[in-house]
């Protein structure tokens, strides 16, 4: 920033200095010759008056400086956004990642268990003893799946041009649906995954992963809200996601059509400004209940309360 300002100011100072020197050099030579011959040396001002200062030049320079500063600020903002748009997956060693990836194929039959992880290790030719390197075993498997889903969602966001043609509420509903559809193959075992996430040692990571998911969706919608709006909108979206996720566990409709209708209705309500505050309070409670409370009790409150 300062270097850019110097590039603008130094040429202006140079021009003024050059004009002052030129003013001295362009005094007619015959003037001094005439004066010397008559013995009358004209009064000379040892400090020649430089060209008149033009306030417009200062205003233009200040305006240009401000515009460049704003441009640099916009560039930094876009760079920050770009960095946020690609969240790194949890750091696993290559062997660990291969084991976790292979283990997901056994979750449908064996659940989110150490047994599934052992089967995955054997599939990739790794000793089952590697399971001991995971401090929270089953939680590592669920968290790996969550990270993988986030990466896949980001890839979809970056590749789907049709998302840009949707209004914000439709875009949110679409992205939440895409993300939840990734869980459909594991739906019979997803209550177990939620139970693992709700264990005290796993809650911090679970909330962090869900916060990252919500943040990615809002960025995809084009939201740059700050301060209170930022927290309010993400609380509402987190609640929409959690309640829809729980609804899926009890949905027996073909292709989860009731779940998607529920999602669309909740999203429209959340984007209704008259209902936003009410939704925020209700859905904030939903997040806590969904993560750590009784599933049956929560579902009863949501759908009958």
- The rounded distance, in Å, linking the Cα atoms of 213 and 216 is 5
> What's the pLDDT at 235?
87
> What's the pLDDT at 32?
37
> What's the pLDDT at 234?
84
Classify the phi-psi angles of 52: left when phi > 0, otherwise alpha if psi is within -120 to 50, otherwise beta.
beta
> What's the pLDDT at 225?
59
Residue 130 corresponds to which tokens in the numbers above?
């590697």
**Strand runs labelled E in 156-220:** none
Q: Can you list the residues of the chain whose pLDDT is less than 50? A: 1-46, 49-50, 53, 55, 58-60, 77-88, 274, 276, 290-305
> What's the pLDDT at 221?
84
> What's the pLDDT at 41?
44
Burial (CB count within 10 angstroms: exposed 0-12, middle 13-18, buried 19+), residue 256: buried
> What's the pLDDT at 64?
56
CA contacts within 13 A on the Cβ side of 99: 28
Give long-range contacts, CB 8 A cutoff, 24+ apart: 213-219: 213/146, 213/150, 213/153, 213/179, 213/241, 214/238, 214/241, 215/84, 216/85, 216/87, 216/150, 216/153, 216/154, 216/157, 217/172, 217/175, 217/176, 217/179, 219/81, 219/84, 219/85
């Amino acid at each position: 920033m300062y270097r850019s300002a110097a590039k603008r100011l130094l040429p202006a100072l140079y021009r003024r200095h050059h004009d002052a020197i030129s003013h001295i050099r362009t005094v007619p030579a015959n003037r001094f010759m005439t004066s010397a011959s008559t013995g009358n040396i004209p009064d000379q001002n040892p400090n020649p008056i430089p060209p008149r200062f033009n306030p417009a030049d200062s205003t233009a320079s200040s305006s240009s400086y401000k515009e460049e500063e704003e441009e640099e600020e916009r560039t930094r903002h876009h760079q920050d956004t770009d960095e946020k748009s690609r969240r790194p997956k949890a750091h696993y060693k290559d062997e660990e990642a291969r084991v976790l990836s292979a283990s997901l194929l056994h979750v449908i039959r064996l659940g989110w268990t150490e047994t599934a992880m052992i089967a995955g290790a054997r599939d990739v030719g790794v000793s089952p003893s590697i399971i001991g390197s995971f401090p929270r075993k089953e939680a590592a498997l669920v968290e790996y799946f969550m990270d993988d889903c986030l990466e896949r969602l980001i890839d979809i966001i970056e590749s789907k041009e049709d998302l840009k043609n949707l209004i914000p509420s439709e875009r949110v509903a679409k992205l939440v649906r895409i993300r939840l559809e990734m869980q459909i193959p594991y739906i019979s075992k997803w209550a177990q995954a939620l139970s693992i996430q709700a264990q005290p040692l796993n809650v911090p990571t679970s909330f962090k992963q869900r916060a990252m998911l919500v943040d990615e969706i809002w960025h995809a919608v084009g939201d740059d809200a700050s301060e209170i709006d930022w927290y309010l909108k993400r609380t509402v979206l987190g609640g929409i996601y959690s309640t829809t996720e729980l609804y899926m566990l009890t949905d027996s409709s073909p292709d989860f059509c009731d779940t998607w209708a529920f999602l669309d209705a909740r999203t429209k309500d959340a984007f209704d400004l008259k209902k936003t505050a009410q939704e925020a309070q209700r859905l904030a409670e939903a997040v806590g209940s969904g993560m750590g409370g009784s599933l049956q009790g929560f579902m009863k409150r949501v759908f009958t309360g």
